[in-house]
Structure 1
Amino acid sequence: LRFFRSSRCLFWGQYVGGLTMAEPVVLDWPYEGAQPPPFSEPPVGRAGTLIVPGSNYVLDLHGDLSDAGLVVFSDGNHHMALEMACRAFLRSNPAVRDIFYATAPPGPLIAALDEGGLSIGNMSFAVKPNVFIGPSDVMKRLENSGRVGSARPFAKSRGVVLLVRKGNKRRIKAVDDLLREDVRLACSNPDTEKASFRVYSESLSALLNGAGGDGETLVRHMKGEVGPGRRPRIAHSTSIHHREIPTLLASDAADVAPVYHHLALRYVRIFPDIFEFVPLAGGENAREDFVPGPEHIITTYHAAVLEDEAGEWGKKFVEFMETDEVRSIYKFHGLEPVAAG
Structure 2
Amino acid sequence: MSSSKARPALDIPYDTLVDFVGDPFMADLVLFLNGNQFMVMPELLDGFRRKYPSYHRIFYETLPPGLLAQQIEASGRIQVGTLDFEVQADIYTAGRGEMARLGDRLGPALPYAQNRLSLVVSNQNPMRIQGLQDLGKPQIRVAMPNPQTEGIARLARQALVLEGGEMLAKKVFEEKALVGETRFTTVHHRETIPWVVEGQCDVGVVWQSEAFWAQKQGQAITVVDLPKGANPMGQYWIAGLTASRHSKARDAFLDFIQTPTAQDIYRRYGFEAVSSDASVYSGF
TM-score normalized by the length of structure 1 = 0.73
Is 1:148 aligned to 2:148, yes or no? no
Write the distance in 2 (CA, Å) between the matches of 1:273 and 1:246: 8
Name the counterpart of 2:221. 275
Q: Deviations over 1:53-110 (max 9, x none)?
A: x44x112111122442110111212222244222210122222122101111122112
Write the distance in 2 (CA, Å) between the matches of 1:269 and 1:247: 15
Matches within 5 A, 1:218-237: 218-225=168-175, 231-237=179-185
Gaps of 5+ in 1: 14-53, 210-214, 282-292
Q: Deviations over 1:91-146 (max 9, x none)?
A: 2222212210111112211221122222222222221011111112322343xx31
**Superposed structure 1 runs of 4+ greater than 3 Å apart:** none
Aligned CA RMSD, in angstroms, stands at 2.5
Compute the displacement of 1:182 (Å).
4.3
Letter in 2 for 1:76: G
2:266 to 321, 324, 330: 330
1:58 to 2, 9, 17: 17
Please state whether the residue corresponding to 1:176 is helix, strand or coil. Answer: helix
Check 1:95–1:120 CA distance in 2 against 1; reply closer, same or farther (3 A cut): same
Please state whether the residue corresponding to 2:40 is helix, strand or coil. Answer: helix
Is 1:125 aligned to 2:85, yes or no? yes
Write the distance in 2 (CA, Å) between the matches of 1:8 and 1:125: 11
Please state whether the residue corresponding to 1:225 is helix, strand or coil. Answer: helix
Compute the displacement of 1:12 (Å).
3.3
Cα contact 2:192–2:204 (8 A) shared by 1: yes
Matches within 5 A, 1:21-36: none
Matches within 5 A, 1:306-321: 306-309=241-244, 310-321=246-257
Write the distance in 1 (CA, Å) between the matches of 2:69 and 2:62: 12
Letter in 1 for 2:214: Y
Please state whether the residue corresponding to 1:191 is helix, strand or coil. Answer: coil
Compute the displacement of 1:183 (Å).
2.2
Cα contact 1:75–1:103 (8 A) shared by 2: yes
Name the counterpart of 2:160. 204
Compute the displacement of 1:222 (Å).
1.9
Decide which structure has the larger Cα Rg and report it: 1
Is 1:254 aligned to 2:213, yes or no? no
Cα contact 2:7–2:70 (8 A) shared by 1: no
* Identity fraction in percent: 27
Cα contact 1:166–1:273 (8 A) shared by 2: no
Please state whether the residue corresponding to 1:113 is helix, strand or coil. Answer: helix
Write the distance in 2 (CA, Å) between the matches of 1:109 and 1:308: 16
Compute the displacement of 1:200 (Å).
0.6
More helix by share: 2
Please state whether the residue corresponding to 2:18 is helix, strand or coil. Answer: coil
Write the distance in 1 (CA, Å) between the matches of 2:45 and 2:4: 27
TM-score normalized by the length of structure 2 = 0.86
Cα contact 1:221–1:234 (8 A) shared by 2: no
Gaps of 5+ in 2: 276-284
Name the counterpart of 1:164. 121
Letter in 1 for 2:21: H
1:263 to 210, 216, 230: 210
Please state whether the residue corresponding to 1:172 is helix, strand or coil. Answer: coil
Matches within 5 A, 1:285-324: 293-309=228-244, 310-324=246-260
Write the distance in 1 (CA, Å) between the matches of 2:86 and 2:183: 33
Compute the displacement of 1:161 (Å).
1.2
Residues matched between the structures, number = 272
Please state whether the residue corresponding to 2:24 is helix, strand or coil. Answer: coil
Compute the displacement of 1:273 (Å).
4.0
Letter in 1 for 2:88: K
Cα contact 2:114–2:234 (8 A) shared by 1: yes
Matches within 5 A, 1:11-30: 11-13=11-13
